[in-house]
Amino acid sequence: MMESVFKFIIDSRKAFAELVDGLSADELNQVPDGFNNNIIWNFGHIVVSTPLLCYVRTGIWPDAAKIKYVEAYKKGTKPTYEVNASELADLKGLAISTIHTLEEDYKNGLFKQMEPFSTITFGAVINTIEELLATTVGHDNTHYGYAIAQRRIIKNSK
């Protein structure tokens, strides 16, 4: 069962990466009217949120020091700089590699003893890594949906 969850997360992130690949740097960095973030921020946000939730909020890691770009894309942030091609390529790689690492850690039993926590966004109590991964699917796809809407606004404003 969990193998299919990890596959779905990876497949949806690949779809998000394809959306990103179809846009210029200007389009990725543009904050459309009605939004306080942009497409690349939504992509970066899913990249940092999953390890933040799965390793830090569960008590596996003491802090977010191991999570690259966490300060730029964590909850409560918004774009403060133009993302360049190098960072974009790095984020696309991390979008997949972090899930492969997470899957290996899951298979190796790293999350058997996690601290339950309540999500800030939904107020739901997460008791198991399986519940957390189901939440990750929804979270990733919420931000993918925002990016699709932002792309539509950007393309229609030209």
pLDDT in tens, the chain (158 residues): 899 999 999 999 999 999 999 999 999 999 999 999 999 999 999 999 999 999 998 899 999 999 999 999 999 999 999 999 999 999 999 999 999 999 999 999 999 888 888 887 778 899 999 999 999 999 999 999 999 999 999 999 87
Q: Please, are residues 83 and 69 in contact by the beta-carbon 8 Å criterion?
A: no
Q: At residue 94, what is the residue type? A: L
**What is the pLDDT, as a whole number, of residue 113?**
83
**What is the pLDDT, as a whole number, of residue 46?**
98
**What is the pLDDT, as a whole number, of residue 61?**
94
The reported pTM is 0.95
**What is the pLDDT, as a whole number, of residue 115?**
83
Does residue 63 sit in helix, strand or coil? coil
Q: Please, are residues 6 and 131 in contact by the beta-carbon 8 Å criterion?
A: no
**What is the pLDDT, as a whole number, of residue 121?**
75
